[in-house]
Every structure is written in C-alpha cells, then in structure tokens.
Amino acid sequence: MAEPTKKPPLLVLDNIVKEYHRGRVTRVLHGISMTLEEASFTAIIGPSGSGKSTLLNIIGLLDRPTSGGLHFQGTDILELAPKEVTAFRGKKIGFVFQFHHLLSGFTAIENVIMPLMANAGRSKPEMRPLALAVLTRMGLAEKADAPVTQLSGGEQQRVAIARALVASPPLLLADEPTGNLDTKNADEVFSLMRDLQRERGLAVLVVTHDRRLAERCDRIIEVVDGLVASDRRNHPSLNIDQDFVAP
C-alpha cells in the first residue's frame, strides 16, 4: 500500500534576501529561512527598523524578495506572473493592520463584502449572508448596516478582521493590529483573533512591538537587523518556553 502524500507546510521561506536600490544598495533582510505550519499562532517581534514589516510584506505577497525561495502550500510563488500572485493573495491571505483602512463612505457589511467582490469580479447575492455571518461572529450583527464612521475604534478593527476572514483564507497576517487601541480593546481584539484561529484552524502571524501580547502566542520569532535572532515555542497557559524545532 502506498504511503499517503505528506501535506506541505503552509509557508516556506528559504534564505530570503531583500535589497533596495535607491542610489546605493541597502540590504534589509539578510537571508531569512522559516517554516509556518497550518493552524499556528505566531508572533514576530523586534526593534523598529529590524525588517519585520519588510518580511511581512514578502510573506503577504505584497513585495518580492531579491533572492531566495518562497513556497505557499507547495506553490512556488516566485514562478507566478504578477496577475496570478494577486489572485493567489486574494484567496489565500487576509490582512489586518494597525489602522483599519476601512472605506469611510460605506457601511460595515459593505466593507466586509469588498474582498468577495474583488475575488469574483462582481457582486453576488450570497455575499451578504456570508459577510453578515462573519460580522455576527464579531458581535457586530446590529451594526452591519451602520456607516463605519459611526463605529468605535474597537468595532472598526473587528470589522477589519471580518473583512480579512470573509473569504476564509488559510493565513491571516496582522501588522500591529492592536497598536491603535487602548489596553481593554487591544485585549479584546487579540482574544478574538485567538478564538477565531482555533475555531477556523487558520494560521495567524502577528507582527507586534507588545511583548505582553507576543507571550500569548504559541511561537515567538525575533527579528534583529534583518536576521532571525531567536525562534522559540511558547506555552502561554504554562508559561514555559522551549526552542522551536521545525517539523
């Protein structure tokens, strides 16, 4: 009997280098390798200017590395044409940022529907029920038809999370998702992301400067000067750490 085919990791970065040529060559990432598994909850931490955001942009397929390998669910991303990368990103990756970037002239549910329309190229009747279901999970069913400008900061960030998840991507990238919120709302938003990760079995990768929140993740990667300085498993409930060993 043939052995079952082993499922590839969600994401594999192999010796990623990123350089910018603006009069002179500036190397931001110096050869980063890592593997991200499905259904994982990972934090990337590090000082300002360490390369965290550049790394997240490459993982999110918003930027291309200068050299190295990038595979997503076994697909060689660097072999795809730009239009294919855009379509792949729309179906596979959700984004949440420090500033929610909601469209101010639209309601909460209209903002959530946007990614579905972008992927399909047009509006479809089934999109509203899908968006409403996600908003309901966020505790915002009664605010679905409210203009986003009438929502609180915490509510707006929950709409942004709903928008990121409505297309059911396997990966959610969050760049300082609580950086613009007070402590109470930050804790609520982070707990919601944690619950959704467990419920949906998706991978969440959070870039944060808040070590208190990072310690609530299952894995903590520290980036310093464009290199991975440490990569460790974390056990929030036990408060026990151990070195991470990629499978």
Q: Is residue 229 part of a domain?
A: yes
Q: Is residue 204 part of a domain?
A: yes
Query: pLDDT value at position 191?
Result: 85
Q: Is residue 246 part of a domain?
A: no
**Residues with Cβ < 8 Å from 89, sequence gap 6 or more?**
60, 61, 62
Average pLDDT over residues 145-161: 90
**Residue 34's domain is classified under what CATH number?**
3.40.50.300
Q: Is residue 243 part of a domain?
A: no
Query: pLDDT value at position 3?
Result: 57
Q: Is residue 4 part of a domain?
A: no
Write the pLDDT tens digit of every residue in 191-209: 888 888 888 889 999 998 8
Phi-psi label, residue 220: left if phi above 0, alpha if psi -120 to 50, beta otherwise: beta
Write the pLDDT tens digit of every residue in 100-124: 678 888 999 999 998 888 888 878 8
**Residue 218 pLDDT greater than 80, yes or no:** yes
Q: Is residue 161 part of a domain?
A: yes
Average pLDDT over residues 134-143: 90
Total structural domains within the chain = 1
Q: Is residue 19 part of a domain?
A: yes
Query: Which of 6, 5, 9, 7 minimizes the C-alpha distance to 203?
Result: 9
Query: Which of 93, 26, 104, 84 minimizes the C-alpha distance to 58?
Result: 93
Boundaries of domain holding 84: 11-237
Q: Is residue 242 part of a domain?
A: no
243 pairs with which residues across the strands? Answer: 232
